């Protein structure tokens, strides 16, 4: 069952049934001010950091679901409704929510009155603009009453939800003209305030929540709305809100437009007050003026659309498969940017409080966006490297506001350092900007700088210096799989598996890190080649050879690659185990590393994946699932079978198999796996899948779960970057490399003719692929026969590339 449809021309997903299986959301904002908005206008806003600068309040996991947001109430001669259906939930004659790139438009219609609200955060603007239009499409005159509504949060999101003994006494607001100013804690140490303005005169307002709602009422039935009045209240403590009240009369055909701004402003310490406790509002007034009429709003929306169109234009494909086109051209790229901005901080599954920027997460996110905004990728790489420690290890996370490593969480996840080589090499391949290697970055954010080249060298040698008894990398607390905690042995309920390290073992080893080392180690060696460091390259390659030998000797289980050795040196992910016999990660990483390609083991590993792990909804992480908690394996055995890391379809790692299949020339299989988890292909089973059909979810319940196919944790996941990387670089096969663009499509028979536009280092490659089913590729560059590498020939050039398979 579907709840909407794609509009590829306008790059929108249009939801036409508000009762989606889960709130289907969108993100507004690209720099400082951000909002999350659901298809019924639920959600909240924050400035830069969802944890420390929460602007409006949102209650996670609330009942009813998704209550609280940016609401409008229409009272049409006694009939009360909301354009987004919620919160009033009065049945509408028409409803639509258009989620576009950086904006959402919600439309409702009842009894001949049409309401449309556009929500977006303009470029370079610290606020959300809302343009509401009401149109009387009936033949009668209508007397309309309109209320707006937002609820303020007290900046620190966790404190806001917990510290009531203080918070209920500190709320403060000011009201001037049509603007409500929120200034809780401004009288003391905060130099920022928020405001909610309207560009029309108001007939009243409310800022005290209980006076507006009425005691014991929900958002669905505010007392003032029902009465068609406003209390003109000023909040003193309790829970401040902002609600504007308008009364109007609309003739048939007449329209009424009002522009609201939910803004954030800062003042210098010495300029905070106009008079005793009265905010200096100059900054807010300047912002309000920028959007005082509809043309200014429309203009800003056009610019925002232009911004996104431009970003997406770096990779565009035209094929016979609309779903493929919309994933690649629009949604997968969009999600990759959003994930880059937010890491894993704020979504409908991430509360915006718990997590900072993950070292491994953010490095991997680079591969999904460095083709769009390489400058941002460069800065992020430097920020990440600056948290690295002198021995090459890494803090697992850093806080976005301070950019400092999180000391409480610490490090010792031994895959972390290697992901820095992935991001640096991806950036170099995309941009050819070798100067990044000379940029000096500190360790642990202080003193002692070292070049980025030295940082990635330290990453490389961190593995070499931390090998276990079989010559395989020590796992530390965990590798990519946060829940494979081989040195943890936690018996304390509620204890964090990520930080507990009861055992200081030097035995537990990871085959996945071994595979990573072969891949990213070779990237390091190639970087040495290109920067004239032949000795470093030779040295590095000798370590890589040793690692390959160790994998061959100790990590091949007969039909697949083992996963690890545990604290006692026992096998994990082997047919000798009772449960968890085969894991996905080591199959992906060892095959991507080129292991067993010649002697058939790689193919055998893929066959085992197909047999044991693949399901109609994607590839599960392991099999058989763990049914009992096992001290020596940690969190992975804590999840019920079929969920999350315990045999869920963890979408992040499916592309590793997709890439492996493509590398082995199994084009059909690669595309088949791609389609199983790509959301656009799942639109028809939205009722089962539950999360948005336009973005990937982190996890889909696996075959051992109660309801296989149910997705969770949409939006913020490494799945976005990895799938974009897999489809564009390995299936469509247009792959940036140090010297140019590598052409290596592995396309299935069902795609016979494709056109790709790839903008690369300021040049444009117009690529056409003719697929006659064969595997022999001929490539022409600007009319001349060419090998598979398109050498980069400079900025501004437009190239014509023709690829024929026969």
Instruction: Name the one residue in this structure whose structure tokens are 């007034």.
Output: 285
Query: Which residue lies nearer to ligand GLC by CB, 458 or 621?
Result: 621
Query: Which residue lies nearer to ligand GLC by CB, 499 or 570?
Result: 499
Q: Which of 225, 244, 196 is nearest to 81 (CA)?
A: 225
- The token pair at 25 is 């959301």
Return d(Cα 455, Cα 461) in angstroms, integer: 10
What is the distance, to the nearest Å, from the Cα of residue 536 to the centroid of all Cα atoms in its chain? 36
Query: Which residue lies nearer to ligand GLC by CB, 383 or 529?
Result: 383
Q: Write out the binding residues for ligand GLC, residues 709-738 only, by CB under 6 A.
A: 717-718
- The token pair at 660 is 């492996």
Interface characters, 359-398, with ligand GLC (x: CB under 6 A)? -xx-------------------------------------
Among 358, 468, 515, 580, binds ligand GLC (CB under 6 A): 358
Query: Which residue lies nearer to ligand GLC by CB, 224 or 498?
Result: 498
Task: Give the binding-site size for ligand GLC (rule: CB under 6 A).
Answer: 16
What SS3 class is residue 795?
Answer: coil
Q: Write out the binding residues for ligand GLC, residues 628-687 only, by CB under 6 A.
A: 635, 644-645, 652
For ligand GLC, which stretch binds (CB under 6 A), given 456-464, 474-482, 554-562, 731-739? 474-482
**Any catalytic annotation for residue 482?**
yes
Pairing, β 763-771 against β 798-805: parallel
Minimum gap (Å) between residue 416 Cβ and ligand GLC: 9
Other C-beta atoms within 10 Å of 250: how many? Answer: 20
Minimum gap (Å) between residue 507 Cβ and ligand GLC: 22
Beta bridge partners of 712: 699
Q: How many CA atoms lie within 13 A of 658 on its CB side?
A: 31
Residues counted in the chain: 806
**Degrees, nearest 5: CA angle 377-382-384:** 95
Among 698, 714, 723, 771, binds ligand GLC (CB under 6 A): 698
- The token pair at 434 is 């070798």
What SS3 class is residue 34?
Answer: strand
Query: Which residue lies nearer to ligand GLC by CB, 480 or 696?
Result: 480
Convert 585-611 into a string of H (helix), E (strand) and C (coil): HHHHHHHHCCCCCCCCHHHHHHHHHHH
Minimum gap (Å) between residue 681 Cβ and ligand GLC: 22
Minimum gap (Å) between residue 492 Cβ and ligand GLC: 16
Minimum gap (Å) between residue 365 Cβ and ligand GLC: 10
Among 483, 550, 678, 747, binds ligand GLC (CB under 6 A): 483
- Is 441:398 a contact under the CB 8 Å cutoff? no
Strands (E), 238-349: 240-250, 255-266, 273-275, 278-279, 315-318
DSSP, residue by residue, 54-84: EEE---TT-SSTT--BSEEEEEETTEEE-TT
Q: Judged by CB under 6 A, does residue 350 bind ligand GLC? A: no
For ligand GLC, which stretch binds (CB under 6 A), given 105-113, 205-213, 238-246, 476-484? 476-484
Return d(Cα 384, Cα 362) in angstroms, integer: 8
Among 498, 510, 574, 771, binds ligand GLC (CB under 6 A): 498
Residue of this chain nearest to ligand GLC (CB atom): 482
Query: Which residue lies nearer to ligand GLC by CB, 73 or 650?
Result: 650
Beta bridge partners of 197: 179, 261
Query: Which residue lies nearer to ligand GLC by CB, 317 or 621?
Result: 621
Q: Judged by CB under 6 A, does residue 480 bind ligand GLC? A: yes
For ligand GLC, which stretch binds (CB under 6 A), given 255-263, 355-363, 576-584, 770-778? 355-363
Query: Which residue lies nearer to ligand GLC by CB, 233 or 510?
Result: 510
Cα-Cα-Cα-Cα dihedral of 328, 334, 335, 336, to 10°? 80
Q: Judged by CB under 6 A, does residue 481 bind ligand GLC? A: yes
Which residue among the candidates 479, 482, 566, 744 is catalytic per the annotation? Answer: 482
Q: Which residues bind ligand GLC (CB under 6 A)?
A: 344, 358, 360-361, 480-483, 498, 635, 644-645, 652, 698, 717-718
Show which residues are catalytic: 482
């Amino acid at each position: 069952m579907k709840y909407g449809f794609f509009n590829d021309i306008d790059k929108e997903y249009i939801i036409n049934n508000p009762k989606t299986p889960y709130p289907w959301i969108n993100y507004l904002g690209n720099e400082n001010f951000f909002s999350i908005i659901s298809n019924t206008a639920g959600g909240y806003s924050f400035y830069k950091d969802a944890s420390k600068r929460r602007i409006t309040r949102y209650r996670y996991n609330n009942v009813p679901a998704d209550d609280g947001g940016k609401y409008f109430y229409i009272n049409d001669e006694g009939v009360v409704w909301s354009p987004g259906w919620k919160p009033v939930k009065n049945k509408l004659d028409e409803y639509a929510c258009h989620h576009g790139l950086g904006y959402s438009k919600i439309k409702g219609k009842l009894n001949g009155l049409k309401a449309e609200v556009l929500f977006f955060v303009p470029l370079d603007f610290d606020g959300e603009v809302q343009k509401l239009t009401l149109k009387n499409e009936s033949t009668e005159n209508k007397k309309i009453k309109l209320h707006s509504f937002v609820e303020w949060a007290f900046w620190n999101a966790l404190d806001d939800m917990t510290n009531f003994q203080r918070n209920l006494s500190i709320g403060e607001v000011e009201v001037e003209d049509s603007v409500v100013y929120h200034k809780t804690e401004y009288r003391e140490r905060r130099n920022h305030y928020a405001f909610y303005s309207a560009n029309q005169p108001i007939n009243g307002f409310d800022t005290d929540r209980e006076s507006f709602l009425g005691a014991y009422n929900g958002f669905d039935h505010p007392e003032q709305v029902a009465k068609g009045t406003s209390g003109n209240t000023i909040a003193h403590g309790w829970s401040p809100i902002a609600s504007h009240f308008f009364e109007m009369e609309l003739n048939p055909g007449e329209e009424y437009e009002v522009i609201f701004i939910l803004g954030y402003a800062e003042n210098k310490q010495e300029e905070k007050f106009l008079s005793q406790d009265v905010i200096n509002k100059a900054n807010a007034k300047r912002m309000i003026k920028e959007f005082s009429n509809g043309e200014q709003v429309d203009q800003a929306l056009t610019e925002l659309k232009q911004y996104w169109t431009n970003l997406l234009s770096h990779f565009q494909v035209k094929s016979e498969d609309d779903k493929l086109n919309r994933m690649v051209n629009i949604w997968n790229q969009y999600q990759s940017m959003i994930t880059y901005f937010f890491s894993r901080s704020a979504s409908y599954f991430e509360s915006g409080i718990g997590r900072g920027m993950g070292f491994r997460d953010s490095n991997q996110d680079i591969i999904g966006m460095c083709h769009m905004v390489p400058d941002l990728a460069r800065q992020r790489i430097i920020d990440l490297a600056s948290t690295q420690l002198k021995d090459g290890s890494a803090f697992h996370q850093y806080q976005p506001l301070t950019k400092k490593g999180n000391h409480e969480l610490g490090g010792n996840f031994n895959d972390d350092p290697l992901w820095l080589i992935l991001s640096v090499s991806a950036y170099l391949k995309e941009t050819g900007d070798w100067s990044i290697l000379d940029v000096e970055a500190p360790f642990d954010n202080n003193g002692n700088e070292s070049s980025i080249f030295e940082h990635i060298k330290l990453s490389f040698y961190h593995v070499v210096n931390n090998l276990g008894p079989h010559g395989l990398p020590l796992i530390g607390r965990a590798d990519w799989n946060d829940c494979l905690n081989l040195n943890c042995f936690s018996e304390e309920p509620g204890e964090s598996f990520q930080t507990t390290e009861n055992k200081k073992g030097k035995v537990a080893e990871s085959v996945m890190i071994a595979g990573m080392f072969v891949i990213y180690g070779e990237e390091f060696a190639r970087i040495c080649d290109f920067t004239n460091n032949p000795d470093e390259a030779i040295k590095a390659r000798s370590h890589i050879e040793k690692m390959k030998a160790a994998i061959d000797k100790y990590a091949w289980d007969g039909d697949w690659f083992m996963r690890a050795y545990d604290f006692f040196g026992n096998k994990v992910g082997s047919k000798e185990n009772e449960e968890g016999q085969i894991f996905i990660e080591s199959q992906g990483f060892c095959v991507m590393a080129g292991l067993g390609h010649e002697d058939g083991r790689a193919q055998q590993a893929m066959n085992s994946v197909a047999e044991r792990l693949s399901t109609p909804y994607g590839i599960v992480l392991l099999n058989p699932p763990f049914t009992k908690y096992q001290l020596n394996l940690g969190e992975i055995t804590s999840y019920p079978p079929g969920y999350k890391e315990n045999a869920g379809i963890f979408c992040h790692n499916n592309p590793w198999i997709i890439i492996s299949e493509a590398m082995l020339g199994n084009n059909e299989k690669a595309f088949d796996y791609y389609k199983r988890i790509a959301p656009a292909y799942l639109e028809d089973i939205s009722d089962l899948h539950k999360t948005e059909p336009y973005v990937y979810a982190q996890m889909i319940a696996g075959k051992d779960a109660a309801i296989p196919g149910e997705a969770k944790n949409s939006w913020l996941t490494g799945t976005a970057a990895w799938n974009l990387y897999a489809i564009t670089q390995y299936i469509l096969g247009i792959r940036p490399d140090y010297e140019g663009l590598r052409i290596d499509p592995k396309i299935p028979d069902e795609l016979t003719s494709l056109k790709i536009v790839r903008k690369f280092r300021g040049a444009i490659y117009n690529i056409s692929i003719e697929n006659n089913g064969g595997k022999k590729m001929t490539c022409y560059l600007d009319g001349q026969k060419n090998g598979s590498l398109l050498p980069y020939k400079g900025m501004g050039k437009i190239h014509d590339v023709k690829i024929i398979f026969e």
